[in-house]
Structure 1
Amino acid sequence: MKSLELKFLNEDDHIVTISLDQPVEPVDTQAVNDAMDEIITQNIFFSSGGDLVSKKSARIVERNVTPVEL
Structure 2
Amino acid sequence: MRGIISLSIKDIKEDVEDVAVVSLMDTIIDNNLIKTENGDLVEKQAAQVVVKDTTEIEL
Q: Do the structures match in fold with TM over 0.5?
A: yes
Give 1:62 deviation, angstroms: 3.9
Q: In the alignment, does 2:26 pair up with 1:34?
A: no
The residue number in structure 2 matching 1:49 is 38
Structure-2-length-normalised TM-score: 0.75
Give 1:28 deviation, angstroms: 0.6
Detail structure 1 runs of 4+ shifted over 2 Å in the superposition. Answer: 61-65
Aligned pair count reads 55
Structure with higher Rg: it is: 2
The residue number in structure 1 matching 2:50 is 61
Choose between structure 1 and 2: higher strand proportion. Answer: 1
Give 1:64 deviation, angstroms: 6.3
Structure-1-length-normalised TM-score: 0.65
Q: Which runs of 5+ in 2 are unaligned?
A: 55-59
Q: Matched residues in 1 for 2:24 and 2:10: separation?
A: 15
- Shift in CA distance, 64/55, structure 1 to aligned 2, threshold 3 Å: same
Greater relative contact order, per chain length (Cα 8 Å cut-off, separation 6+):
1
1:14 counterpart (3, 12, 15): 3
